[in-house]
Every structure is written in C-alpha cells, then in structure tokens.
Chains A and B, each alone.
Chain A
Amino acid sequence: MTLNEMHAEAVAGIVDRVVARYRRDPSCMVQILREVQEACDWISPEAIDRLQSTLGVPRTKIEGVAGFYAFFYTEPRGKYRVLFSDNITDRMLGSKAMMDRLCNNLWIERGKVSEDGLVSVAQTACTGMCDQGPAMLVNNYAIAGLTAERVDQIAELIRDKVPLADWPPEFFKVEDNIRRADILLGSDLKPGDALRAARARTPSDGLHSSNMRSWREGLPSGIGGPAALLDEIKRANLRGRGGAGFTTGLKWEACRNAPLKAGQQRIVVCNADEGEPGTFKDRVLLSKFPDLVFEGMTAAAYAVGATRGFVYLRGEYRYLLDHLNAVLAHRRREKLLGSDILGIPGADFDIEIHVGAGAYVCGEESALIESLEGKRGTPRNRPPFPVTNGYLDQPTIVNNVETFAAAALIALNGGEWYAAIGTKQSAGTKILSVSGDCARPGIYEYPFGVSIRQVLEDCGASDTQAVQVSGPSGICVAENEFDRVIGFEDIPTAGAFTIFNHSRDMFEVARNYVHFFQHESCGFCTPCRVGTSLLKNLMDKLHNGHGSPYDFAEIEKLNHLLQAMSHCGLGHTACNPVLDTIAKFRPAYDRRMEHDDFTPAFDLDRALAAARQMTGRDDPAAHITTKSGEAA
C-alpha cells in the first residue's frame, strides 16, 4: 500500500465514523465537515471523496458548503491554525504587535502556512472576547488576554508540537466579567421551576388566548398551560434581543398557528451566532446560565408545541460545546428534556447544538436555518418567513439567547412582573457588552431606559469621544448624544457597547468595520457582494492619502444603493459606520481629503511593494518618488 493510499484509508475511517454519528444525514453537513476537519486538520479531496460516497450528495454541494465558511479549509493550513481576532477592540489592545511577535517567533509570514506545514497565523473577525483582548483562536479554541509572554509560550508549544489538549488549561480560561447584574444575571432559577410554573398557570380570561393546540393535546389535566404561557409572553411585551426587536409573542403565536403538514413538527432555534463585533453577552449567558437559556427554549417549545430544538452556537464559542452538552444531558436525566417532560405524557422536546464555522451572516435567521440544514449560509427570499416555512420547511421560531433567558423568567414570574421593568415601550432588561476605552469592561445588565452617560460612568470611561452601540450595523453615538437612552424608543441594541476615547481615530474605526462587512458579505446579491468591496476600496483609498470630495459622493451613492437593493440586513447596514462617522466626526475624514479634485486610487510606488518584498529591497532606488520629491 502506498503512503497516499494509507492516508486515504485513514481519512475514510474518520469520515465514516463522523458520518455514522450524524446518521448519514446530509442536513448535518456543516457539523460533519467541522468534525472531519477537527480530526484531519483540513478537508482534503480524499475526505470529500468519501463524504460524497457515504452521504450520497454531489461533490459540488460539499465543496460549495466547505468553501462558504471561513473556518473550513480545503487546503492545508497547518497542524496549528492560529487566528487573531481583528475587531477594533483587539487592535486597540495591541493585537497587531502580538501577531507580529508570534509570526517573528515562528519565522512565518502572516496568512501563509509555515514551510514545514506545521502552523499558520492569520486574522479573523471579532471572536467575542472584546472585554479581555487581544484574543486568538487556535484550532477554533479561544485564548484571551494575550500578553507578549503568553505569545512566546504559545510559539514554543507550537514549535515543540505539543498537542493542543496538553497546553496549560489556564491559557483557555475565559472570564465572565459580570459587572452589573439584574433579573437575568442575578437569577438563581432552579432548573425546572419555570416549566412547572408555566404548567400550573391557568389561562387568563382569554386576554390574548389563541386557539388551543400542541403539547396540551396530550395533557390529561392542566388544560391551557401553553396558551396561558403565550399570554404571559405577550403581556410581558417581550421583544427580540438579537437587534431587530420583533415582538416575541407574535412570533411564537404565528409559529404555533402555522399548519403542519404530515410528518412535520415545530422547531425552536436559539440563535447563539453572536457575530456582531463587540458583542459577547450570549457567551456569558451560555457559560454561566445555560439552564436559564435551555429552560426558556423548553418553555417556548411548550408554548408553540415544538418537539425539536437547536442551539446554533458560533464557531468561535466551540470551547463551550462540551459544557453545554453536559448541561443538556443533565436536564435529560432530570426529565426536563426528552420525552414526557416533567412526567407530562406527550410533552416531548429535545435540543441539539450545531456549531457554526465562521460566518457572520448566519446570524440572520434564514441564513442560520440554511446553515442548520447543512447548506451555504445564504439568506432566503422572504416571504415565506421561518415561522411558517423554516427548518426543513417546518414552522420555526428563531430567537436570541437573551430572549430565551428572559422568556424563562417570564414563565416563572409572569408577564406583568416583567412589563413593570424598563420603560413603557421597552419592557425588561438589556445586557450590554461593554468594551473599549473604559476601566471595567465586561457585561452590564440594566433595565431599559438607561442613558449612555450612565453606562459610561458605571464602567469607568473617561474622555469618551464616541460609543458604537449595537456594533458596526448599529449606531455611532457622539458626545452630545450621551443623554440618549437604550431602548426600542431611542437606541435599540443587540448589546454591543464599544467605547472610544478622544485618542482614537474614528475614521480608522469605520474602516475596520467596513473591512468586516466586506469579509462577511455572503456574496449572494450583486449590491452587497460588489458594493462592500467598492466601499472597502474607497476607505482604503482615503487611508492611503488619495481622498477627494469625489469619494464622499461615491460613498453616499453606494450607501443608497446598498440600502435600496441589498438582499438582507448585512448589505442594508454596511454603510452605517461610514455615514455615522462622516456625519459626527467629519474632521477625521477631512484630514484625509488631501486633494480637491478626483485622484485615482492607484499608487505606483505602493504597487511596487510586492516586488520589493520579493527582492528583499527597500532602498531609495526601489521606490518611485512623487512630484514633491518625497517617497510616497
């Protein structure tokens, strides 16, 4: 047997094991590819051969999916695959110096694989460790709080080929940094209590009650529990915490009322694809309060009559998977999941966790469902909406982690209790992920209605120039707006609260965000696919000193086009960080307006950089000088 054949046989063995565990189900393609890569370091053509024959799907489908996700490699990327988080907060904490240090230490070039095929070092979008950056992923396991010393240790471990499992556990320690707790982060809910409360609840006088169906069909007594719970959710005025703020009760009711075709079931999905740069509160909820989240999902299943649930966990949080699975197993033992939950005949619901693979767009609910089905994470055409035609065309609710956690508390304490917290239009609390220039980064839970100024004061921020609320797709708030409040009536947010003091260049902040959107555009629709690249080029052009008023007009034109023509929210909001900073921090842009008239982006001297690098030259003769006589 040749070495190649032995290799192919070993790969086939791994693939068969993984495929068997997923019941040869192509709808688990993303999970299958992830596990194959975890075992083989990459998804080789031999692995795809075997997947093709064992799953019975065309090669094009496998390659199409593998090619979509940033964390899947169809070319070898080394035994150790290091990705530095490239969020603006990581940069502010010195991530670039850390990355250069590691590259120098390992004698490798950023983005490339070492010559011995051992290691690669590259960058990735925000990994959700903004309060404890700079951070990296090694083979998708998070390491936060990087220091020069730690980076040197990591280089040594890699050079010595120490398996990742044998690295010091303290490297992988992730802090919760809970700075302010309210009803959610202060909850001491006993697993099962919310479900028991929901079951015991009798329907109110038909306030919002909808037609009766679902779990309670199998209930000998306690008729009305699910409908009564739905009433409480509505009475609570709970709105989605993922950013869009859709009324949760309406979503659940639409799913509950959606007709089921033969063999179909209703599905509950927890969106834990916390990809918005600067957001990390779902990470803490899942690591510290998983029972609260799972209880909320089970309560939701009870209310809508769902029998199957998923948590879509972002790939960056892979390290949470074993812990979460252990919690699920415990809940099954306690009869809080599985069949006949709480001893109620017919009360069947279980949860499985799917791990994403580096695609921000999968936070969009229909793209998330596509990914759950094992496909490329491209947002669907809507209507129809997921509540009627979601996972495998079945009625599906997709809610944020925090929404489910809040739902569990509403099931326990009732809607009126919840609605009394916060403001009239925004009931309840909101967890903020505070990072950037402040003394105490971490997560803060406030009743809705808290002012920006109050949060800044609590986290010890001073000399603040701006706050990016809700991440790049949200809004950039300037000093004169710090009395504005967090809430659906003023500044809605998915949770990110990124602080910039006066030493920060808001143009570079916006440029970082524009690069992010360009990297994360799914490529489905023309305006977003090409438009985000054009926008990135324009921002780079300004950065490189070729800006003129013409480029402003171009940016505005692109913004209009992306807003009007894009397929989903990613394209609609991709220009937000630029427009906001142009409007509020104009001097940062004016400094870049080096020309009055149009100037081309092309720069001959910069174009020669590749040649200089290849020849190892950087002497004056290797540069083209500009008219003013300076090297450009």
Chain B
Amino acid sequence: MSSTFTLDGKTIPFDDGQTIIQAATKAGVFIPHLCYHPEFKPHGSCKLCTVKVNGRHTASCTMRASAGMVVESDTEEINAERRALTQMLFVEGNHFCPSCEKSGNCQLQATAYHLGMMSPHFDHFFPNRAVDASHPEVLLDFNRCILCSLCVRASRDVDGKNVFALSGRGIKTHLIVNAKSGQLADTDFTPDDKAAQVCPVGVILKKHKGFAVPIGERKYDKAPISEVTETTEGR
C-alpha cells in the first residue's frame, strides 16, 4: 500500500483492489451514497456517489482506485447533480418524512439535508404502491423504496434466503418477495435477518417498536450524515 490518488486536492492512500469510496471512507472523507454499503458487493445503481475521475463522471463505489488519479467529489457541480438525483428519488416514490417512522434515521432524508435539497423540484409521480403488512413482526412500505437492492444482496449473500428481488423494468421496477402469494408472511424471512437491518429508507420496518426513539434524538438528528461513521448498526 504505497499508492495514492488525490480527492479534492487531498492525498488519499489506497490498497490494491480498493474502490475510490472505500479508500475515501478509510481516510475519513465522506462521499454521499445510498446503494453502497461497506459490507456488500457494490451495486452502482443509485449514482449518488458519482465523482469525476480525471474529468470523467464515474461511480466511486465501483471504480477501483489507481495511482495518480485526480478525483473531484465535493464540488458545486457534482453536488448539484447529486441533489437532482436525490430529488428524483423523492418524486419517484411517496416520501412523507413527517409521518415516517424512519425520519431521522433515514439515509435518503439525511442525504437530502447534506446536499441542501430545499424542495423536490420535479413533479411528483405519486405511484400507487401497496403496503405489505402480512408479516407479524415486520411491515413493508414499498412507497419509500429507492431500489438500492441492499435487502436483495443481504438476503441472498448473507442470509442465504433470496427473500427479496427486483422485478419489472424501467420506472416500473419494484421490489418483490419470495412467495407465490407475494406476501412477506409467506416467506422464510425473520426480523433477525441481515436483510431486515440494511434498508437505508423506511421500507422494512419492525412492528411494535414505532417511535421508540423520539424524533429529534435520532441518528441524523444528532449529527449530519457526513459525520456519522459508517457502521452496520442503525441504518
């Protein structure tokens, strides 16, 4: 590990095979992201972590670091683009923060604050998405799904269950569960599954525990997302 690249002028060391975001995180530099999670294989779909490498846009969660790269991340231009992507995610689903149990612990909301998003800007799509309350212990509110596929990867790669998958195409892409009935209660999902812990937004919610921590005292209420260390817990 002798190689380095520069990120917004700062020298960042990296190990062979590390991606830009991995090296940046290790060096304490925050790059906004939603579908990336340090414990899982990168997906590269939300595009929030896009940076400019030698002047070209690329997702920092899938691009491997190489010596001498010149990477720009925290610039006005890139943050404006990230803000627009965040706005897209907001209008694509139905996100009503004030009534959401995940408010304050939600990465989408925290990222929007971080990027200074003041309005959704685009016209809302108001999609019609049903809630799956079939499971006795866990609620699925698809209205908030941002299609990051973290639950898909967690269930497949860690739990070995394949409870979740993406189906449909384009704007009709949606999360499905592994049951003929299409209901979570008919899958082998349990609240202890890794897949139950990784949703960055408020789709996978544990029942009977609503608002156990009051709004105002939650993770991102205390510190902005850029300062909260990436851990597996509480996401």
Contact = CB atoms under 8 A, between A and B. Distances in A.
Interface string A32-62: 0000000000000100110000000011110
A40 B10 CA distance: 61
Nearest to A69: B169
Contacts of A426: none
A529 B47 contact: no
A226 to B, nearest CB: 32
A569 to B, nearest CB: 14
B163 A527 contact: no
Interface stretch (A131-139, A245-253, A514-522, A578-586): A514-522
A524 B125 CA distance: 18
Interface in A533-549: 533-534, 537
A523 B170 contact: yes
A523 B47 contact: no
Interface string A272-309: 00000000000000000000000000000000000000
B169 A70 contact: yes
B171 A530 contact: yes
Contacts of A565: 47, 50, 57, 81, 85
A64 interface: yes
A376 interface: yes
B147 to A, nearest CB: 7
A107 B91 CA distance: 38
Given A64-B176, A561-B81, A519 B45 contact: no
Given A523-B169, A537-B123, A561-B84, A63 B46 contact: no
Contact of A525 (B45, B122, B162): B45
Contact of A381 (B44, B92, B180): B44
A241 interface: no
B92 A530 contact: yes
Interface residues of B, number: 39
B163 A60 contact: yes
A68 interface: yes
Contacts of B164: 60
Interface in B117-141: 122-123, 125
B44 A68 contact: no
B31 interface: no
Nearest to B182: A63
Contact of B47 (A68, A518, A525): A525
Nearest to B61: A381
A526 B33 CA distance: 12
Contacts of B44: 381, 525, 567
Interface string B70-89: 00000000000100110011
A532 B172 CA distance: 12
B165 A63 contact: yes
Contact of A61 (B45, B48, B162): B162
A333 interface: no
A531 interface: yes
Contacts of A566: 47
Nearest to A60: B165
B51 to A, nearest CB: 11
Contacts of A68: 167-169
Interface in A551-610: 557, 560-561, 564-567, 601
A66 to B, nearest CB: 8
A529 B3 CA distance: 37
A47 to B, nearest CB: 11
Contacts of A530: 88-89, 91-92, 171
Given A526-B46, A564-B50, A565-B57, A64 B89 contact: no
Contact of A523 (B42, B85, B171, B177): B171
A136 B165 CA distance: 33
Interface in B137-186: 146-147, 162-173, 176-180
B168 A67 contact: yes
Given A59-B178, A565-B50, A523 B92 contact: no
B105 interface: no
A359 to B, nearest CB: 7
Interface in B51-65: 57, 59, 62
B47 A526 contact: yes
A367 to B, nearest CB: 11
Interface string B33-48: 0000000001011111
A431 B96 CA distance: 53
A567 B57 CA distance: 10
A553 to B, nearest CB: 12
A58 B178 contact: yes
A45 B186 CA distance: 15
Nearest to A59: B178
A511 to B, nearest CB: 17
A601 B124 CA distance: 11
Contacts of B170: 518-523, 529, 532-533
B169 A561 contact: no
A534 B88 contact: yes
A525 B47 CA distance: 7
A534 B122 contact: yes
Nearest to A530: B88
B37 to A, nearest CB: 16
B169 A601 contact: no
5 contacts: A58-B165, A59-B180, A60-B165, A67-B169, A526-B46
Interface of B: 42, 44-48, 50, 57, 59, 62, 81, 84-85, 88-89, 91-92, 122-123, 125, 146-147, 162-173, 176-180
Given A59-B180, A376-B169, A565-B57, 6 more contacts: A45-B180, A60-B177, A67-B169, A520-B170, A526-B89, A529-B92
